[in-house]
Amino acid sequence: MTIDLSPAARVLGALVTDLDDADLARPTPCAGWSVADLLDHLDVVAAGFTTLARGTGHPGAGPWDAARRTVLAGALGTMAAAWRDPAAGEGTAGAPGPELPRPTWGRIGLTELVVHTWDLAHAVDRPLPALPDGLLRTTLDHVLVFVPQAPLPELWDTPVAVGRDAPLWDRVVAGTGRTP
């Protein structure tokens, strides 16, 4: 199974490169995290999920200046490219987390990109970027099944109730405990 993370990586990368240095200290919807903390997390996500897909990837280091934010946007694109390889969806993988089927890891990676796009857009008061409905539906399907049974439940907050007719973005983020 291949999964195309490219649309989510593209919009998140654009948000990352559009940040100003003044944005770095702003709080995010992620409890206790600033924008800079979220960028640190995304750096690890990009490296970790690239490693899961193809065995390579390294987080960066240093301050979150414009050059490093550009590097992170590229790393998110590399992560997406790695998951387009059909081999990325075969078998299981367990490092840096629990042993799970690779397709599940791919959907976790997609969820990371989509949900943190929402987090970052809200943190810096930017309009929510458009993502294809199919991508949001895939993310929602994953969130509704995976989050309640996640092997590391402490990574998610209690889902927030929203109506079945709520926009897809709202249902996705509500499933991860964020209030849309």
**CATH (residue range 6-175):** 1.20.120
- pLDDT 10s digits, 20-45: 999 999 999 998 999 999 999 999 99
Could you tell me the residue ranges of all domains in the chain?
6-175
The pTM score is 0.91
pLDDT means per 10 residues in the chain (180 residues)? 88 97 96 95 91 69 89 94 91 80 92 96 95 95 89 79 94 94
Nearest-CA neighbor of 112 among 68, 54, 156, 70?
156
